[in-house]
Amino acid sequence: MATNGLQNGRIFSNWIGGESRPSHSGELFENRNPADRDDVIGLFPQSTTGDADAAVAAAAAAFDSWRLVPAPRRAEILLRAAQLITERKEQFARDMTREMGKVLEETRGDVQEAIDMTAFMAGEGRRLYGQTVPSELPDKFAMSLRQPVGVCALITPWNFPMAIPSWKIAPALVCGNTVVLKPATLTPLSALNFIKILVEAGVPPGVVNLVTGGPDVGTRLSMHESVRVVSFTGSTAVGRLVNQNAAPSFKKVHLEMGGKNVIIVMDDAPLELAVEGCLWGGFGTTGQRCTAASRVVVHDRIYDDFLEAFVRGVKSLRVGNGLDPSIQVGPVVSEAQLDTVTRYVEIGRQEGARLVVGGHRLDAGAHAQGWFHEPTVFAGVDPQMRIAQEEIFGPVVSVIRCRSLDEAIAIGNGVAYGLSASIYTRDVNTAFRAMRDLYTGIFYVNAPTIGAEVHLPFGGTRATGNGHREAGTAALDVFSEWKSVYVDFSGRLQRAQIDT
């Protein structure tokens, strides 16, 4: 992107080996406010594979000393980082709203999630539990413990630009690894803010590194021989490439990818609560969440009543600049993403779905300088339509009719993804059947599909992920290896099962 006309912007650098470094290329890209294209937040390095190599080398050099720092001492640094973020929460939230558009209330939540995750993982520094077990032989001690893996390459998306880096960096560091972070090119400032906090909290040089830039940087990190873990959050298509790139060197790979999440509204549901949940699930973060509720399956008996109330709620949503406290829905993050949304709206029309509200780009008046789209609802949607099968990642919700719980569950499971699902019902038996039979990594009862908490595992099934989880103690399994240790103090040779 051209770098002319920078207004009140700043020039930023990579962070490698404990110092700011420009890219080898000398090239920069602009970071612009999606609500106001004239607002240039700053210029960031368009890094090269050479920059990626330098960051990996710095992380590799720092690993041997960092892994020997006692885990409780590593944890103290993370706890200090959580305290520093708390002190600057409002500043970081405002930076994030300017950078990626979601409303200030939500970016405060994003920063709070980084605080919570960093503090939670600090607590793990005094646990990192293994097992001690009785040996089958006399005078022999048996235990297991976690050991760090090495250099971790972390590739993060733009929709949670501080929370998701924290999900990866905090457990990696507390386990004794070093990291190289490549944030999304649309949101580098929020990631850099997090890295700077870690440095200020006392993370030694080379332990955390940040390199901005395009797909060449991510490809290099995923293929680099010195990288032992790759953790990626983003689209399923790119995640597949990351997995292929990492496979020849047998790296550990963690993938957190797409979703096509469903809210089921049964005929006994508390209707007002269900409508409220579907509004938040479908249009929170302008629908730009992997957990967004882009499908709502409603029982035939209340379908018309639900649709009427839902459309009324959608029409009342206020769209605009997320820094305005009266706004509920911010812009789409970029022109390319806006084009994707408008393309899917046209696909929905062509497929025969009924557009009941929205469907248009907003480009006049207060919306003229941003990438805005109306909150949009399709009714009469067949479960096999593309708008009901493919991830749109925008403010578009498909409302689908069902006649039974079994049909609703079949519709819910009838997509490639398996991240999050929800049901609204007053019947505990119905809730537990749905909880059992919907094949997702996250499930909610009488709540929307968004709103995960940091102390439970986060992730999905099928095309959403590859079996690993973020958050909770499950995240430690991505960033550590198990070692089983046997101490024989018998003073003689014991041959395990042979001498049992």
Q: Which residues are catalytic?
A: 256, 290
Q: Is the dihedral of CA 440, 445, 451, 453 positive or negative?
A: negative
In this structure, what token pair is assigned to residue 134? 């009785």
DSSP string for 420-442: EEEEE-S-HHHHHHHHHHS--SE
CA atoms within 13 A on the CB side of 47: 34
Which neighbouring-strand residues pair with 32?
40
Spatial distance between the Cα atoms of 25 and 51, rounded to a whole number of angstroms: 9
DSSP string for 130-156: -EEEE-SSTTEEEEEEEEE--EEEEE-
Spatial distance between the Cα atoms of 190 and 107, rounded to a whole number of angstroms: 10
DSSP string for 39-103: EEEEEEE---HHHHHHHHHHHHHHHHHHTTS-HHHHHHHHHHHHHHHHHTHHHHHHHHHHHH---
Query: Tokens 């235990």, residue?
Result: 143
401, 353 Cβ separation under 8 angstroms: no
Residues 6+ apart with CB under 8 A from 66: 74, 176, 177, 178, 204, 206, 207
